[in-house]
Amino acid sequence: MPVSDTIRELEALVRYHQDRYYNYEPEISDAEFDALWDRLRELDPENPLFSVVGPDSSDRFPKREHRIPMNSQDKAADPEAFLKWAAKINHPFYLAQYKMDGAGIELQYEQGRFRYGVTRGDGKVGDDISANVARMKGVPPRISADFTGGIRGEVLMSRTVHRKHYADKANCRNAANGVMKRKDGVGSDLLEVLCYDAAHDEDDLYFADEPAKLDWLVKQGFAVVSHRRCATAEEVVAVRDEVAAARPDLDYDIDGLVVKGPEIDPDDMKRARPERQIAFKFTLEEAITALREVVWSISGHLYTPIGVTDPVRLAGTTVKRANLVNTRAIAEMGLRIGSLVRITKRGEIIPKIESVVTTPEEAVDIEAPDVCETCGTDLIDEGTRLFCPNMQCPKREHYRIRKWIEVLDIKDFGPVLVQKLFESGRVRSIADLYTLAEDDIVQFDRMGEGIARRALRGLQSVREIPLARFIAGFNIEGIGELIGEKAISAGFDSLEAIRDADPSDMAARTDGIGETTAATLIEGVRTLYAEMTAVLANGRITIGRTIASRELAGTSFCFTGAMQSMKRAEAEALVQAHGGSTRGSVGEGLTYLVTNDPEGTSSKLQKARALGIPIITEEQFRAMIPDESVGTG
C-alpha cells in the first residue's frame, strides 16, 4: 500500500477512535490508540491532526469559548522517552501531577463568582453544561478572590460511585462523561472536579509560578489534583513507579503523571501541544490468553459474568479470571468459549477482557443463565445487567440483611454470622434480627457466649436512624441515602408519603431525581412496606425526627469512636433534625468526620486523611448545632 494511502487510513482510524473515546464507549485500549497515533506521527510528523483536539461536543448544549486553550499534551510512554524530553527542556525542578482519567472541564469565574462550566470540545469551544457543573463537588459558587478567568480541571467519578451506581458502564471516565452531559442533571452531584490550572483573563503575571497557582487554588476552596515536587527527572521516574504501584488503592482512575516545570509560560500554553509539559503515562499491562469458561457471580439479585482463562502473568501476578462486565459486552466483542482474548490491568484489582484477538472454528457460544438459581424466577437481561426481579427471592433477602448490617454500621455482626442465621432459618428478614436471643447464636460452631453478647450489643446499639438510611438499608436497587435525602427534603418525609407518591410528581418536585429513579424508589417502598413496618413494629428501631431547620443542609457527618456529651445516635438525630445527613462510613462526598481522637489511626481516620475530608472534634461539632438543640450531656 502506498504511504499516502496508509496515512489516510491512519487519519480515519484516529478520528474514528477519538470520537468513540470522547462521545461513546472506546473500542480499543489507550495503548492501541497510542500505537496508531505514534505510527501516524512517524509517517507524517506535520499532519494537521496533531494540532487539533478530539471533539467531545454535542448538539444538545449551547457552545461557549474557552478562556484557557484546552489543548492536548505530548506523551512519553516509557522512562527513556521522558528522560529524553527532560534533557531537552531542562526545568530547574519538576511538578509531577496525577494525570486523572476523567473528562476535561473549564470553570469560568467573573469577579469571583462561578458563571460557566465548559467541556473540552475542540480545544477552543465546548459545551456549556454550567447547570450540571454547579452541582458537582469541588466547584465553589463564589471564591474570596476578585478573580476573572478560567480554571481547568477534570470531572471525575470515583470507583466507589461507579461500582454502586454505574457498574453497567465500562469505566469511570465513560460514566462521568455520560452523566455530566445529561440534560436533566441527574447524577451530577455524584461527580467531583479536581483542578490543576488557572489563568487570569488580563494578567499573565497574576500567579508567580505553578506552585503558587496550586496554593491559590487550594486557598480559594478548590480540590486540587495530587502532585509532588521533584528535584530531578530521575526522581520523577521513581515517583511514577511509586504511584503506579499505588493505583489499586486509589478511588479514582489515573493513567500517568503530567510533568511540568515551575515557570508559567503563556505562549507555550497556546500551542496545540505545549512543549514544556508532558504526559508521562503508565505502561499498560496486558496479555493474550484463551477464554475457557464463563462463571456467573451472584451478588444479591445481580448475575455478573466472570471469564476463566488459561493462566497468564500480568502486572506481576498470575491471572486466571477476568471481568466481562455484562452480557452486552460479551455480544459486542463476539466472545465465545475458546476465543483468544486480550486482558488488561489498569490499576483495578480484577483484570478485564478488552477484546477478542481470534476465535477458532470450534469455539462454543457463551450461555447466560435464564432462571434464578435460588427461586426459579425468570431472569431479566437488559444487556447492561442480568438480574432476578423477584423482590422476595431468598438470595435477595439474604443480601438485604447483609446490606442492612452494613448501612447501619452495626459492629460485631459479620457476614458469616448472618449466613449461619439465614441458612438455619432463624433469620429470614431484617425484622427477624430484632427477635434474636443469645441462645440463637451460641448454637453455631465457634460462636460462644462472648461473641453472641457482642453481636447483640452491636445490633441493639443502633436504635434511632434517619429515614433515608432506613430506606437505604433495604437495598432497593440504585437507592442510597443520597436519593432518599433528596426525596425527604422535597416533602416526601415518611414511608407513607413515598409509598403513595406519583413518580412524575416526585421527579417534578425533587431536585436531582428523575422519573425513573422516583419510580424505582416508590415501587421499592410499596413492595417492601410490610417488611419495613415489621421492623418498626417491635420498637427496637425508630425513624429519627423530622427536619426542624435547614442550617446543616448539604452537610454530611460520620461519627467514629466514643462520644462524651451525648450518644452517637443522639448526635446523628441532631444532624438530621437540622437538615444535614449522616453516614455510616467514610467516603467521597462526606463533609466532616467527627471524633474525640483526631490523631488516631483507625481505618476511618486514615481514609478521611487520604481523601482530604476535614476531621473535627465533638466540641467543634456541637458548635455547629443551634444552642437550643444541644443538651448539656
> Taking CA 397 as the corner, what is the angle to CA 492 and CA 349, rounded to the nearest 5 degrees?
95
Is the backbone of residue 554 left (phi > 0), alpha (psi -120 to 50) or beta? left
Give the DSSP H/E element, type plus range, for residue 286.
Answer: strand 285-299
Packed helices 394-407 and 415-424: angle between N→C axes, nearest 10 degrees: 140
Cell of 228: 509532588
Residue 75 is a catalytic residue: no
Contacts of 567 (CB under 8 A, 6+ apart): none
Q: How far apart are CA 502 and CA 480, in angstroms?
A: 19
Cell of 433: 434480627
Question: In 3D, which of 380, 323, 389, 355 has the Cα closest to residue 162?
Answer: 323
125 in Cβ contact with 218 (< 8 Å): no
Q: How far apart are CA 490 and CA 511, in angstroms?
A: 8
Q: How far apart are CA 116 and CA 109, in angstroms?
A: 7
Q: How far apart are CA 400 and CA 546, in angstroms?
A: 26
Cell of 505: 410528581
Which of 99, 181, 260, 352 is flagged as catalytic? Answer: 99
Give the DSSP H/E element, type plus range, for residue 327.
Answer: helix 327-333
What is the b/e burial string over 540-552, where b = at least 16 CB atoms within 10 angstroms of the residue's CB?
A: ebebbeebeeeeb
177 in Cβ contact with 103 (< 8 Å): yes
Q: How far apart are CA 39 and CA 41, in angstroms?
A: 5
- Checking DSSP bridges between strand 542-543 and strand 464-465, what pairing results, if any? parallel
User: DSSP state, 598?
Assistant: T
Measured torsion, CA atoms of residues 313, 314, 316, 317, in degrees rounded to the nearest 10: -70
Place of cell 434517619: 466
What is the b/e burial string over 253-268, where b = at least 16 CB atoms within 10 angstroms of the residue's CB?
A: bbbbbbbbbbebbeee
User: DSSP state, 287?
Assistant: E
Residue-level length of the chain: 633
- Annotated catalytic residues are 99
